[in-house]
Amino acid sequence: MTPEPEYFDDIHAHTRTGERILTSVRPAEMPAHPEPGTWYSVGIHPWDTSEPISDRDWTLIETLASHPQVAAIGEAGLDAGRGGDRATQEAVFRRQAALAEKYSKFLMIHCVRRYGRIMELKRELNPSVRWIIHGFCGKPELARQLIAAGFGLSLRRECPRETELRDTFPNTYFFSETDK
């Protein structure tokens, strides 16, 4: 059975694997035969949307989304500073959100200066799976808006606002990550 986000001690890592670590990989990086007890998040990062996503890549991510050791889809998202144009990033994001729904996997989101649009998409798409913003270290007002919209927040390592955020909101909305 695929674990819920609360299962993970580290909900977003790239080079570390382990039983309670969710390792984020691009589709081509997913091991053909993952070690038992390891968990993965697989997706197309918004930074990788400058070039068209091939049908082969979409077929691969669809196949991987159904893998029993893939617990989440992502790092999907929107980034105002890097990657393809806004329309392309949003199209790739929507397709990954649909995969998360189809396979009942939570969605790990990379978001840079596009929080308003991410909240609009969540209202529009009305997902049944959890959407979690990774690397969050924003102001409490933004955290309040995201939490009110139903997002989980994975706090960036060494976030100077971590204590303030955790003291302001219930811990049920927060997850920890190393991003390494």
Mean pLDDT of the chain: 95
Q: Looking at residues 11-27, what average pLDDT do you find?
A: 94
Q: With 90 as the cut, is the pLDDT of residue 142 above it?
A: yes
Q: Looking at residues 125-140, what average pLDDT do you find?
A: 96
Q: With 90 as the cut, is the pLDDT of residue 40 above it?
A: yes
* SS3 letters across the chain: CCCCHHHCCEEEECCCCCCCEEEEECHHHCCCCCCCCCEEEECCCHHHHCCCCCHHHHHHHHHHHCCCCEEEEEEEEEECCCCCCHHHHHHHHHHHHHHHHHCCCEEEEEEECCHHHHHHHHHHHCCCCCEEEEEECCCHHHHHHHHHCCCEEEECCCCCCHHHHHHHCCHHHEEECCCC
Q: With 90 as the cut, is the pLDDT of residue 67 above it?
A: yes
pLDDT band at 170 (very low <50, low <70, confident <90, very high): confident
Q: With 90 as the cut, is the pLDDT of residue 172 above it?
A: no
pLDDT band at 115 (very low <50, low <70, confident <90, very high): very high
